[in-house]
Structure formats: structure tokens, C-alpha cells
Amino acid sequence: MLSVVGPLDQTANHRFVEHVMGMPISLALRGRHAGTARGRAAWQAVMAELNAVDRVFSTYRADSFVNRLDRGEIRLEDCPTEVRVVLELGERAARSSAGAFSVSLPSDPDDPGSRRRLDPSGVVKGWATERAARELETLEDTDFCLSAGGDVTCRAAPEREPWQIGIENPHDRSRIVAVVPLRAGAVATSGTSRRGAHLFDARTGRRPSGVDQVSVIGPSLTWADIDATAAYARGVDAARWLTTRPISSAIVVRPDGSVLRVIPSTTEQKVST
């Protein structure tokens, strides 16, 4: 890796990447602790938290608390308190989306009538990443941009440039459809993916159709993730529904490739086709 900057360069990114929960976790640090032992320790603390969350919540691990709860082998009182926190977030998300979002989803993705299983993945990813990012907030005079499988949370000091977040083109992953400058807050994206097991319109039990991708920009990654997932689940109603949400803005990519920029309290604006 080519490195041409010295320790006093406050603008250079220092990068880390590791995999957990079946996705890459990418971190960029910039500023005083970007290259220090404390910076590295904060990164390791982030990864330790995400690994701990995976052990509790993974629907892919037979012995996770979530799967054992789903099978009726344990009760909610037997689980770590975070499980109740996540399930309550799921309840709020279900109410705000009129049931399009749910943590109770068909166990067979091809059978809308199959037994419902507990799958809080739509809540856990954003919630866990926002929580883990608190480790980075303790680094003085240090900017961070943390992406967990494409869900991003960041902070940039006023004297430095905002982070530039590219929104992936769902029809061509080598390209982007927009660039979002972000100084503090989050961007979460939901859409067609190879591991989109938790992406359903829970009202019908079917895979959503109508929009191909939703990205939500807002102050909280937990709710950006929930709202992106819920909007995607609502299909053609995604953009309208997003105007009712407490978000900064959203970007919706439709099957014909057109890109909508959604700003709450105004009507949606078509920015490009």
C-alpha cells in the first residue's frame, strides 16, 4: 500500500477492513488518532462488539439466542437485554410502516404462507453498527467513516471536508448513482441482494417489487437502516412513504434506472433518468 503522508497530515485516510456477519466492515479514520495505537484499539473494539452481536442475533448460527428463541427453547427473559431492545425497535418499525416491515418473516422465502420465523436482521445491522461506532467517538480530533456491509455512519470535524459517500448503482455495481456529502449522520441502503433473506413485504409475505433500491440519509443509522428496509418493502409506495419519515433525504432507484431524490415535506424530485 502506497503511503505518502506523515503523521501530521490531518486529511489522509487510514483504512481498516475485516469481515463479520457475512459482510465486510470498512473503516476510514482521519486526524489525530488515524494511525495511532489508540485508533487501532478503537477499531478492534468496534469489531469485538460486532462479533458479540453476531453470536446473539445471527439467524445463520443454530445456537444463537435469536434462533433458540424462535424454536421456543428459551424465553425472552433468558436472553441478553439487547434482544428485547431490538425486538422493541422492530415493533416500532412495524407500526411506522403499517406492517410492511416486520421481524416475523416467512421461513421459506418462496412460500408466503410458510411458518413465520423470528428474523430481526432488518434492525440488527444498523443498530449494532451505530452502537459500535461509539467506540470511535471517543477518539479526540479524529474523523471516522464506518461502513458495515454498505450501511454507513460517520463524523467529520468542521475544519475538515465532509465524507463523500457513493450510492451504489444496483444495476451496475461498478458504478454509482449519486454522491452524498456527510459531516455527521448515516446512510443506509436496502435493495436486491444475494443475501436479502430478510427483505419481504411482511403484509403479503412476498418479495417486494416496484423499486430496486432505497438509500436513506438521516441522523441515526439504526433508523436509516429500518426506514430503508421498510421503504423497500412498501414497493412503489416507497418514495411517498419516505416523505412522512423524520429523515434528511432519500434516494430511490426504480427498475427503469430512474433515480428519485426524496426530501420530506416536499414532493419527490426526479433527478435523472
Subset of residues 113 to 152 that bind another protein, contact rule: CB under 8 A? 145, 147, 149-152
Q: Residue holding cell 487501532? A: 40
H/E run at residue 228: helix 221-233
* DSSP classification of residue 162: P
Subset of residues 88 to 117 that bind another protein, contact rule: CB under 8 A? none
- Residue 233 near residue 241 (C-beta atoms within 8 A): no
Range in contact with another protein (rule: CB under 8 A) among 19-27, 41-49, 94-102, 114-122:
19-27
CB of 61 to another protein, least distance (A): 15
What are the b/e assignments for 157-174, b being 16+ CB within 10 Å?
eeeeeebebebbbbeeee
Cα 207 from Cα 80, distance rounded (Å): 31
**Of the candidates 102, 142, 190, 222, which one interacts with another protein according to CB under 8 A?**
190
Would you state the cell numbers that stand for residue 172, as one nine-digit string? Answer: 451496475
**Of the candidates 55, 95, 134, 175, which one interacts with another protein according to CB under 8 A?**
175
Specify the residue, 114 or 258, whose C-beta has the smaller distance to another protein: 258
Report which residue type is found at 9. Answer: D
CB of 113 to another protein, least distance (A): 26
CA distances from 227 to 143, 249, 271 (A): 26, 11, 21
- Helices 221-233 and 81-96 pack at an angle, to 10 degrees, of 50
Range in contact with another protein (rule: CB under 8 A) among 81-89, 93-101, 186-194, 202-210:
186-194
260 touches another protein (CB under 8 A): no
CB of 180 to another protein, least distance (A): 6
Beta strand 213-218 pairing with 184-191: antiparallel
157 touches another protein (CB under 8 A): no
Cα 152 from Cα 261, distance rounded (Å): 18
Would you state the cell numbers that stand for residue 22, as one nine-digit string? Answer: 457475512
226 touches another protein (CB under 8 A): no
Cα 114 from Cα 88, distance rounded (Å): 24
Report which residue type is found at 154. Answer: C
Specify the residue, 75 or 173, whose C-beta has the smaller distance to another protein: 173
218 touches another protein (CB under 8 A): no
Subset of residues 32 to 61 that bind another protein, contact rule: CB under 8 A? none
167 touches another protein (CB under 8 A): yes
Range in contact with another protein (rule: CB under 8 A) among 32-40, 65-73, 161-169, 233-241:
161-169
71 touches another protein (CB under 8 A): no
Count of C-beta atoms within a 10 Å radius of residue 22: 11
Binding site for another protein (CB under 8 A): 1-3, 12-15, 17, 19, 22-24, 26, 28, 145, 147, 149-152, 154, 163-168, 170, 173-181, 187-196, 213, 215, 217, 248-249, 251, 259, 261, 271-272
